């Protein structure tokens, strides 16, 4: 990739990146991008490698000498500091970030999002290494608008719901609603990283993803994950569509989300990697404010898109309502609305999301159909035979 320059026209030097959580959904797309389009090296750290095995084998691949997999659990492995020291930049993606876990595995959630991230921050700070830490849009919590009367015209005013990195408050629910324990753990690690920057000069960038979705996200229950497992909404709805069962709308499907295509979001991360002078010391929302829907609208759109890509007509009752208690158990709470403000990332990195919701669903559901339809058919015929 000779001749590649950064946003200020300076040549980009190849660097070594220690990527913790490289085997997950985001990590797999980031590794792919780095191998296909850059000359950077990746020390890929994870406990699983299934989602990146196409990048690791065979040894004849073009980039074989630029990616190394280290099967390490960062909770208890002394090799971590050595890898961070060998790298120029560390990217930490490792964390539990699935709502079904927040109220069923609250301790694991808090540990993975706060305690386990502490040594990573410490090693970066002590060794003078740059850190890109993955946080969440959940740190904003509920919108101010959620507290206005249902019929208040102010609910329509963006000032009451658009989420801005430098001015929006972070509003969490009660302790027994454990989504906010996740949000709180993420917020505290952000504050700690910020403080390391302020007191000890740590060079950091914090990323707040807003519902990044695409191929390889989570798992399809009973196929490449536990049959009783509950992944995030894209995989839940994909699973329902593949099995020709109704999509389950939790508490009426009224919550709103903005979905961004993983490939658009990865472009933003690459800009952060290659433009440290513009990214250091910043917290960036990364989302697509143009792709807002209610969960009910998402279900309707996914049903239509899936019909198109699979060639199968949709079932007679495409959605059913379920209560959150039934679906997630006691202690679940939801975020009402999440619209990212894009001013800071736009100013610093000139980045904007591109892909519409329809287009990103079309490519993602084409992948889901191609990857899982046959396996689901076989699994379902086995169950019927038994």
Q: How far is the CB of 137 from ligand UDP (least distance, A)?
A: 8
Compute the half-sphere exposure of residue 250: CA atoms within 13 Å on the CB side of its CA: 21
Q: How far is the CB of 326 from ligand UDP (least distance, A)?
A: 11
Give kind and range of the element (H or E) at residue 65: none
Give, as ranges, the residues between 200 and 229 that touch ligand UDP (CB under 6 A): 211
Residue closer to ligand UDP (CB basis): 89 or 305: 305
From the list 190, 185, 225, the residue with the least C-alpha distance to 205 is 190
Nearby residues of 68 by Cβ (< 8 Å), 6 or more positions away = 41, 42, 43, 44
Q: Does 48 sit behind a cis peptide bond, omega within 30 degrees of 0 on the bond before it?
A: no
Residue closer to ligand UDP (CB basis): 38 or 240: 240
Q: How far is the CB of 57 from ligand UDP (least distance, A)?
A: 31
Residue closer to ligand UDP (CB basis): 21 or 99: 99
Q: How far is the CB of 196 from ligand UDP (least distance, A)?
A: 27
User: Binder to ligand UDP among 217, 249, 269, 283 (CB under 6 A)?
Assistant: 249
Q: How far is the CB of 257 from ligand UDP (least distance, A)?
A: 5
Beta-strand (E) ranges in 6-135? Answer: 16-20, 41-46, 67-71, 89-92, 130-134
Calculate the alpha carbon distances from 279 to 136, 141, 271, 273, 345 in Å: 17, 24, 8, 8, 9
Give, as ranges, the residues between 312 and 371 that touch ligand UDP (CB under 6 A): 334-335
Residue closer to ligand UDP (CB basis): 211 or 288: 211
Give, as ranges, the residues between 253 and 282 that touch ligand UDP (CB under 6 A): 253, 255, 257
Residue closer to ligand UDP (CB basis): 40 or 257: 257
User: d(Cα 237, Cα 228) in Å, to the nearest integer?
Assistant: 15
Q: How far is the CB of 238 from ligand UDP (least distance, A)?
A: 10
Write the secondary structure of 250-304 as one string of H (helix), E (strand) and C (coil).
EHHHCCEEECEEHHHHHHHHHHHHHCHHHHCCEEEEECCCCCEEEHHHHHHHHHH
User: Binder to ligand UDP among 236, 260, 305, 360 (CB under 6 A)?
Assistant: 236
Taking 3-state DSSP, the helix, strand and coil percentages for the chain, each rounded to the nearest 5, stand at: 45, 15, 35
Q: Is 111 a catalytic residue?
A: no
Q: Is 114 helix (H, G, I), strand (E, B) or coil?
A: coil
User: Binder to ligand UDP among 91, 184, 295, 302 (CB under 6 A)?
Assistant: 295
Query: Which listed range, 54-62, 231-239, 301-309, 355-363, lies at the site for ligand UDP (CB under 6 A)?
Result: 231-239
- In the set 102, 123, 182, 332, the catalytic residue is 182
Residue 99 binds ligand UDP, judged by CB under 6 A:
yes
Number of residues that bind ligand UDP (CB under 6 A): 14
CA dihedral 368, 369, 375, 381 (to 10 degrees): 130
Calculate the alpha carbon distances from 33 to 37, 39, 74, 131 in Å: 6, 10, 24, 19
Query: Which listed range, 26-34, 115-123, 146-154, 252-260, lies at the site for ligand UDP (CB under 6 A)?
Result: 252-260
Residues assigned a catalytic role: 182
Residues that bind ligand UDP (CB under 6 A): 99, 211, 232-233, 236, 248-250, 253, 255, 257, 295, 334-335
């Amino acid at each position: 990739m000779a001749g590649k320059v950064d946003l200020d026209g300076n040549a980009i030097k190849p660097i070594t990146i220690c990527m913790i959580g490289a085997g997950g959904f985001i990590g797999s797309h980031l590794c792919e991008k780095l191998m296909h389009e850059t000359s950077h090296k990746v020390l890929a750290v994870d406990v699983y490698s299934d989602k990146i095995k196409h990048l690791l084998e065979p040894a004849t691949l073009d980039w074989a000498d630029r990616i190394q997999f280290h099967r390490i659990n960062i909770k208890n492995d002394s090799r971590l500091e050595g890898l961070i020291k060998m790298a120029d930049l560390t990217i930490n993606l490792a964390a539990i970030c699935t709502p079904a876990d927040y109220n069923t595995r609250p301790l694991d959630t808090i540990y993975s999002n706060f305690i386990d991230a502490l040594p990573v921050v410490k090693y970066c700070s002590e060794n003078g290494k740059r850190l890109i830490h993955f946080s969440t849009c959940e740190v904003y919590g509920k919108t101010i608008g959620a507290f206005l009367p249902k019929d208040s015209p102010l609910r329509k005013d963006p000032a009451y719901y658009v989420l801005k990195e430098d001015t929006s408050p972070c509003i969490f629910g009660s302790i027994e609603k454990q989504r906010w324990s996740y949000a709180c753990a993420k917020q505290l690690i952000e504050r700690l990283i910020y403080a390391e920057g302020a007191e000890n000069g740590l060079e950091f960038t914090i990323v707040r993803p807003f519902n990044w979705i695409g191929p390889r996200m989570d798992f399809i229950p009973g196929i490449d994950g536990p049959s009783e497992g509950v992944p995030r909404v894209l995989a839940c709805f994909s699973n329902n569509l593949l099995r020709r069962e109704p999509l389950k709308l939790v508490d009426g499907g009224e919550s709103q989300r903005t979905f961004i295509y993983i490939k658009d979001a990865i472009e933003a991360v690459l800009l952060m990697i290659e433009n440290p002078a513009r990214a250091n010391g910043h917290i960036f929302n990364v989302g697509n404010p143009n792709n807002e829907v209610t969960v009910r609208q998402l279900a309707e759109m996914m049903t239509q898109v899936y019909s198109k890509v699979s060639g199968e007509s949709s079932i007679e009752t495409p959605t059913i309502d379920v209560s959150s208690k039934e679906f997630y158990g006691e202690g679940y709470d939801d975020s009402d609305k999440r619209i990212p403000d894009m001013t800071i990332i736009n100013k610093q990195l000139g980045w904007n999301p591109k892909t519409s919701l329809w287009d990103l669903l079309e490519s993602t559901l084409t992948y889901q159909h191609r990857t899982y339809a046959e396996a689901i058919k076989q699994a379902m015929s086995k169950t019927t035979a038994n």
